[in-house]
Amino acid sequence: MTAEELMRRVGSLQEAAEVVEAIDVTLQGRRGWDLAGWRYELVPWGVRFMRRDRDGGETEVLVLAALKGRQPAPGGVRVVLSSNDRQTQAARTV
């Protein structure tokens, strides 16, 4: 799965949790996902997905709860793509 495909798949923290679960167990095959090379790290208010690129760089997709003040915004998630081989970062708020 490319970073862009992963970014489209995780439109909520629940969807991010499903990807985490699929990385940990054999669910990815049943769901038709190829998560080879992806790993994750739980971070405050979200999840960071990481994959080492062929050129030695690293791609990250961060799925973070969007906050309003100090509380999570209803249904609010921010998805950020960062990579060593891209000139700019991509981000979207869901």
Structure tokens at 5: 């495909």
pLDDT at 87: 41
DSSP 8-state class, residue 85: T
Strand order across the beta sheet in which 38-43 lies: 38-43, 46-52, 58-68, 71-83, 90-93
Chain segment 4-18, per-residue pLDDT in tens: 899 889 988 899 999
Decide: pTM greater than 0.85: no
* More confidently predicted of 66 and 43: 43
The DSSP H or E segment spanning 27 is: helix 27-31
Closest C-alpha among 66, 69, 86, 82 to residue 11: 66
Domain residue ranges of the chain, discontinuous segments joined by +: 3-93
Q: Are 63 and 44 in contact (CB under 8 A)?
A: no
